[in-house]
Amino acid sequence: MPCTVIVGAFWGDEGKGKIISYLAINDKLDFCVRTGSVNAAHTVWLDGNKYALHMVPASFIYEKSRLLIAAGANVHVAQFFKEMELTKIDGRRIGIDKMASIIEEKHSVQDKASAVNKGIGTTGWGVGPAIEERARRTARLAKDIPELEPYLTDVATEINDGIDAGKNVLLEGTQGFMLSLFHGTYPYVTSRDTGAAAICSEAGVGPTRVDDVLIVYKAFITRVGAGPLPGEITMEEAKKRGWFETAAGTGRNRRSAPFDFDLARRNAKINGATQAAMTKLDCMFPDCRSAKKFDDLSEDAKQFINEVEKRTGVPVVLIGTGPDALDIIDRR
């Protein structure tokens, strides 16, 4: 692969954690870099166990993967240690860039108050106020927190040295592109850019060092909180179709809409996508559940994948057919 960027196509919840965990196991990822912040969770299912992770990279399930949290990320110290306990990973496997900023309790209080006043939905973690402090150059950094000292590293140097050595590197984006501060449905967006270029910037990797941008679609679209959602259906209809979901990180109900081909094409172009993944195909076509080969899909499912490729111009190389990390059709 050697350096691949993972970006969400829509409003988040596309199943990036599933795709990352599959790549970690199948491709034997040497490095996985978490960007973004604690307000987004990645869900990993393995052997019937569910892991909803806000801080630890989703490739933790491959025991040889080096797990890194980028300089552009925001670290919630208590959540970091909670996930260290949850995943039982060796502390020597994980590193936090010394320049990553810290989310404090005061930021959560400010975040919730601001959301009420502005009418904009928030997870309440405090990411927006923490980023405001970072922009004002008054934020505390990881290097200022004594309990993080054993984990501190220079992520950019580690990753670029790894690329030089031909290692498999994955840059793990969070949320979805339509929540980008610059390119999304402003003001109903997150506090940072969520596109592929920003993921590279947060990790400290130049664009010419990236081999592939893998955009992750879901067979239908969901979003949580306020803001537009073209083609939105009712919760009752979503339940009838098997599309009703709750957010892994917050437990909030997800609003649903059918797949939007025009939006899929636009976002693939802006992110420079070279490959695509499609998750939750089994929710659209239940007879495809747990399929491992493209030929095993129903004709309707094949037609849907072919239409996505035709209208976006991007090959769909990974297809999720169930919740487990290995429920994947790999067409690479």
Looking at the annotation, which residues are catalytic?
A: 13, 42
7 touches 170 (CB < 8 A): no
The amino acid that residue 75 corresponds to is V
203 touches 158 (CB < 8 A): no
Please name the helix (run of DSSP H) or strand (run of DSSP E) that holds residue 309, with its range, or none. Answer: helix 299-312
275 touches 315 (CB < 8 A): yes
Half-sphere exposure of 277 (CA within 13 A, CB side): 28
> Would you list the DSSP string of 40-54?
--EEEEETTEEEEES
The beta-strand segments (E) located in 124-254 are 152-153, 169-172, 212-218, 220-223
First to last CA, the chain: 11
Alpha-carbon distance values, 317 to 17, 243, 261, 276, 288 (Å): 16, 23, 17, 6, 16
17: which 2 tokens? 């954690």
| Virtual torsion, Cα 64, 36, 229, 323, nearest 10 deg | 20
> Would you list the DSSP string of 113-161?
HHHHHHT----SS-HHHHHHHHHHT---BGGG-GGGGGGEE-HHHHHHH
Over its C-alpha atoms, the chain yields an Rg (Å, rounded) of: 19
The amino acid that residue 132 corresponds to is E
- Dmax over CA atoms of the chain, in Å, equals 57
